[in-house]
Structure 1
Amino acid sequence: MSRSSIITAGALDAALVLLFAVIGRLSHGETLAGLGVTYWPFLGGLTIGWLLLRAWRHPRNIVWTGLGVWIAAVVGGLLLRLASGQGVQLSFAIVTTIVLGVFLLGWRAIAVIVSRASRQRMPTAA
């Protein structure tokens, strides 16, 4: 895996967590002025997941990297929210789990499908 692919994967994860925070704030009629307050706990959980799993080794892997990063982003994010005095209601935890799962596992699934499709189109050497 190239360095640019690893950076792209990490940036995509961070961007999707940011999108989650933006959608959440806007859906509750909040401004984007406080976006950092919503974003940082989940970015922290994501970062912890990347470090613990050494996600840079296989960033597109769905089963280990994807699942692990998703769980770390959700659990770490919710725990960091609690530790910083932000609220965590059950409905928020459920929505967080679903949305981040779709985002963090979804792009990896799409990457696998595209990769497989491109390999099937390539002619084999005779």
Structure 2
Amino acid sequence: MLNEQTSPASENAEMTEAAVPNSPETEQAIQSQEGGVVAKLEAYLETQKGLASTVLPATGIKVTWPKFQPRPLWLKAQRMAKKETVNVTDIYITLLCEFGGEKLTLGQFKKLIPNNDNLHLTAEIMGDDDDEEGNG
């Protein structure tokens, strides 16, 4: 005689059918939750309007960029770098930033911006906004 048992896999399949990512039911459930993730992300986006800036320590040039850094721009920098991945960050910075109100080409950036300014700017743009205790 065989015991009728449901496998854990079939139980999991039944449980997850109701919560399939990107399904209309899931999207509606997320949107209907007060303070859901979409609402939190939209609130964050509202706080990121405007520009961020820094002054490069060696050259004294003010550099500005959008507080909200759009992902498609990072992807564009990756495509432009092709197999030269070492250039991705420099390309991204030249696409994103204005230097004293002007855009620089990648060649100008590499030739005219000293390494300490480059490192400072990379840390400002790519780094964490909050200094950890004892690190800043």
The interval holding the TM-score normalised by the smaller chain is 0.3 to 0.5
TM-score for the superposition, normalised by structure 2 = 0.32
> Which protein is richer in strand relative to its size?
2
Relative CO higher for 1 or 2, CA cutoff 8 Å, sep ≥ 6? 1
> Which protein is richer in helix relative to its size?
1
